[in-house]
Amino acid sequence: MKDKNFFTTILSDTSVENRENIISAARYLSTYPLNADTLTYYLKIIDSNIEDALSAVFKNRNPETFFSILKPNYELISSILGTLTKYKIKTISLKSLYAALGIILMSYKNPKAGLKIYKISFSDIHHIAKYLLTEDEKAVNLIIEILESIWNNDMKNEISVLSKNIINCFYDNKKKLSEHIPEKLLI
């Protein structure tokens, strides 16, 4: 990639006026493979949540497995959890959501390994689980798989118990997710 500073500047400005520039940058970036040098740019496009930019990046690619060629690391997990925190249930693009959930699932498929890289918090679990209300079956299945993976780790702790409680609450019609996730996140 030729001018990284210029590219970073374009992708950092998510204003309406800069929307077309981000879409053009995404089209350009999609010609480069995902690797350590391009990771930050791909994460910024996901965080932009601009549908046309996401379509350019994920054209002929599966968002939920796109990052699977990378080894999970702190920057990757932290950045994608920031994206999940930033958006409300109804405002996140499904492509951004699938990519984010794919990264989280890849990172915590082996919960012990994932927790060594990034110690997931109550807030992180809440921001992942709030998307159970998206009404998108694929997203819901990914979230349940993430929560089950965290629950099934050998180190039963408060985070794993919260994960299990959210799963139980989701499947129990007599309970509400707001029993385990702050109400303000569920709107």
Q: Which tokens belong to 77?
A: 């997990």
pLDDT tens across 26-41, in order? 999 999 999 999 999 9
In a domain, 110, yes or no: yes
Distance CA 122, CA 42 (A): 26
In a domain, 88, yes or no: yes
Whether residue 108 sits in one domain with residue 167: yes
pTM value > 0.85: yes
In a domain, 111, yes or no: yes
10 — pLDDT class (breaks 50, 70, 90): confident
Whether residue 112 sits in one domain with residue 51: no
Whole-Å CA distances, 68 to 8, 9, 29, 100: 23, 27, 18, 11
Looking at the chain, list the stretches that DSSP marks H as alpha helix, in order from N- to C-terminal side. Answer: 4-12, 19-29, 39-48, 51-57, 74-86, 94-108, 111-117, 122-129, 137-151, 158-171
pLDDT tens across 74-86, in order? 999 999 999 999 9
Whether residue 121 sits in one domain with residue 51: no
Whether residue 99 sits in one domain with residue 22: no
Buried b (16+ CB within 10 A) or exposed e, 73-108: eeebbebbbebbeebeeeebbebbbbbbbbbbbbbb
In a domain, 76, yes or no: no
In a domain, 35, yes or no: yes
Whether residue 133 sits in one domain with residue 93: yes
Determine the structural domain holding residue 151 and report its residue range.
81-187
In a domain, 115, yes or no: yes
Whether residue 39 sits in one domain with residue 96: no
